[in-house]
Structure 1
Amino acid sequence: MTYMNNRRKFLKDTGLLLGGLSILPHLSFKPRYQKDKLGICLVGLGNYSENLLAPALQLTKHCELRGIVTGSPEKIPVWQKRHGIPDKNVYNYETMHAIANNDDIDVIYIVLPTGLHAEYAIKAAQTGKHVWSEKPMAKTVAECEAMMKACEKNKVKLAIGYRMQHEPNTQTVIKWADTKPYGQIKKVRGDVGFNIANPGNTWRMDKELGGGLIYDVGVYAINGLRYITGKEPISVTGQHENNRPELFKEVEEITTFNLDFGGGLTGSGKTSAAESVNILRAECEKGWYQLEPFQSYTGVKGKASDGTLLNTYIENQQARQMDDDALSIINNRPMMVPGEEGLKDIAIVEAINKSAQKGSPVTL
């Protein structure tokens, strides 16, 4: 199935091909936002928006949910009643350009399948609103560059939703890449996987819309290997494996890769649908430290060879992420995880896939 056919199928299944959207009659509610907070508009009302971002926006201090973009009219009354969203802040995919004239909305958050990130992030930037995009940033480096160019042209900020970089235990190991409390880092490992009995027919397992595990969770491992070392790889090798082709028809079941950071520092990574694993580990001259799990909604935990524990808990990772990004906009500071960060990971994903195809290392 071609990309365009896949895209049309997704848009049809989710109602995004609707030519227009009849805004429902005004519901009875009180607006739940204050003017001193940034207004967020969620684009795409799937599981992540409904069950993670929207609840998190009830906990944030510097931003709040004020608008939605959806192609599913049946979701509108539910969201309006639950979150107090007025009719004038409800859009579909063909009317979202009108957000440019809505002072209630300051940020447009793209929460769509990866293959649609670039298209709608660019449309968001063209409204003159700041843009947040879920990870992975896009399917290709070219798409990432187009997103960054659109935001720069329209003088808006761009942030990528890597919630882990906002998490306190993760921030500790990021600092340790510079301070080196256990000596020079020699080797790092980043593995993430789930024992998936049946992936089902989801957009994540669609080669063009989702790209499979290497995009969905592989970027966590890649990003982790980069921030735990504080370095960028100079070459990549990658291998794909598929032991259940009847289930993983378009994407790979397992991907393993190795990163050469130069100076003797190496990294290994894995994404797998055949085992449950979630670890980010650094081997150093004078010991080791690790986060396990290093990407989990329910909390990150870690320890070091000398008994140090990395178990700081925060109530909601998504709320911390969005508040950090809101403060960067309010105070006109650089975003903690800008577009450049997402682009670097996608460049490595492309190199892993290229290496797996040609059977040799790829220089970055």
Structure 2
Amino acid sequence: MNPRRDFLQKLAASAVTLPFLPLYASSVRSDLFYNKPYDGPVLRVAIMGLGSYGTRVAEAMQSCKRARLVGVISGTPSKIKDWQAKYNIPAKNCYNYENYDSIKDNPDIDAVYVITPNALHHEGVLRVAAAGKHAICEKPMAINAREGKEMVDACRKANVKLLVGYRMHFEPNTLEIIRMRNEGEFGDIMFFQGLSGFRIGDPGQWRLDKDLAGGGALMDIGIYAINGARYMVGEEPVWVTAQETKTDPVKFREGVDETIQFQLGFPGGAVASCLSTYNMNNLDRFFLNGEKGFAELQPSTGYGPIKGRTHKGELTKPHVTHQTVQMDEMAGIILEGKKPEVPVDGAEGVKDLTIIDAIYRACETGKKQELEL
């Protein structure tokens, strides 16, 4: 018996998808990078976990210039065969969950993108690091900060990079708001609101299994509001309070949160009010308020196009598929030492996990939790 393999095979067969907006073509390619030839180094990537999001990343990577899909890791032989045919992946670059440690002997793979259920990220990254390959891990990086720190330490010890799939850190309208804030166009930041949620479907899916998801909506969708509060305000929070609401204890069992409201306090005096839920649709909005102006994104974290406005007017940056830009930029980080405007490394992931741990404690105790990030 191999529970991990059996679970992942079952997951692949069910092909559960999130109710985000559909995958858009890379619609407006006015970005100079995508309008000129590229003749630099290319990051050769294997994807671990061939479910719905792994498929989305694979499709987006077909338009990448600095990153190329060259390998797969899966517990489902039929999926491996299909991906081989579709993406021209050689058999020597195909692995299952029992033998992928031998990837260390494959010089044709530089990095592995771990896109498995949350609770499997920790083991996946540790094994990838031990094999001497760079690790890209989907968010949340782990199910708690302790695991996240172990992943960071393992990658540091192995002298490989650990990056987290924070695609919004490369999104042009988001970066425009950050630029405006950095240049003082909003004045002192006073308030942030982050609304993240949708009504989840199949009650048997892994996202509603605490052992696999590590929690509920907060781990999956609320992390966007947590992370967004940090990069929109531009500071690290110093305290958090939180309240949980559960209307369906059958669907949302013990340890699986349905709806959590949480509040963050920042050293400069700004406060954030956020909502994370699996029980309400039409929640994908960020709002930033300052002394001199405001910024709003709606949708703020969906697959795009991201739309928004500020006190100066509409945001009109061109849309390129998020995962395409993410993988190209991550290739630049790994291969050329590029520094992103907003970090996407393992330390960034640990900060979000530290806040998540504190939110759950605040829900359990009813008390404000101090934060040291």
Question: TM-score under structure 1 normalisation?
Answer: 0.89
- Cα distance per residue 1:139-195 (max 9 Å; x no partner): 011111111111111111111000001111111122233222021111111111113
SS of the aligned residue for 1:345 comes to: helix
What is the CA RMSD across the aligned residues, in angstroms? Answer: 1.8
Higher mean C-alpha deviation, range 175-184 or range 111-120: 175-184
Query: Are the structure 2 counterparts of residues 54 and 108 from structure 1 closer, same or farther at C-alpha, using a change threshold of 3 Å?
Result: same
Q: Deviations over 1:103-129 (max 9, x none)?
A: 110011100111110111010011111
Q: Is the 8 A contact 2:193 2:274 kept in 1?
A: yes
Letter in 2 for 1:201: G
Unaligned runs of 5+ in 2: 11-38
Contact 1:177 1:227 (C-alpha < 8 Å) held by counterparts = no
* Alignment partner, residue 361 of structure 1: 368
**Distance verdict in 2 for CA 1:67–1:314, change over 3 Å:** same
- Which range moves more in the overlay, 290-299 or 222-231? 290-299
Q: Does 1:174 align with 2:178?
A: yes
Instruction: Report the equivalent of 1:112.
Output: 116
Show CA shifts across 1:258-310 (max 9, x none): 0011342101111122322111111111221111111011211110123x211
Within the candidate set 189, 195, 202, 1:191 is matched to 195
Map 1:79-118 → 2, pairs under 5 A: 79-118=83-122
- With over 3 angstroms needed to count, the CA separation of the structure-2 counterparts of 1:199 and 1:305, relative to structure 1, is farther
The one-letter code sitting in structure 2 at the alignment partner of 1:213 is: A
% of aligned pairs identical?
37
Is the 2:185–2:293 contact (alpha carbons within 8 Å) kept by the matching residues of 1? no
Contact 2:181–2:187 under 8 Å retained in 1: no
CA contact (8 A) 2:141 2:350 kept: yes
Matched residue, 1:22: none
Partner of residue 12, structure 1:
6
1:10 is displaced (CA, Å) by 4.9
In 2, Cα distance between equivalents of 1:150 and 1:239: 34
Which residue of 2 is the match for residue 287 of structure 1?
293
Matched, 1:322 2:316: no
CA contact (8 A) 1:62 1:323 kept: yes
Distance 1:110-1:312 versus aligned 2 partners, 3 A rule: same
Secondary structure of 2:262's counterpart equals strand
Aligned to 1:255: 260
In structure 1, how many angstroms separate the alpha carbons of the residues matched to 2:3 and 2:298? 38
Distance 2:180 2:294 in 1: 11
- 3-state DSSP class of the match of 1:262? coil
Aligned residues: 338
Give the drift of 1:9.
4.6
- The answer as to whether partners of 2:306 and 2:319 remain within 8 angstroms in 1 is no
SS in 1 for 2:237: coil
Partner SS, residue 217 of structure 1: helix
Write the mapping of 1:65-80 to structure 2, written as runs, cut at 5 A: 65-80=69-84
> Secondary structure of 1:200's partner?
coil
After TM superposition, list the pairs within 5 Å mapping 1:135-174 onto structure 2.
135-174=139-178
The one-letter amino acid paired with 1:247 is K
Tell me which of 43, 54, 59 is aligned to 2:63.
59
Flag structure 1 segments of 5+ consecutive residues without an equivalent: 17-33
Aligned partner of 1:200 in structure 2 is: 203
For residue 298 of structure 1, the aligned residue among 301, 304, 308 is: 304
- Where 2:212 maps in the other structure, the secondary structure is coil
The aligned amino acid for 1:13 is: F
After TM superposition, the runs of 4+ consecutive aligned structure 1 residues lying more than 6 A away are none
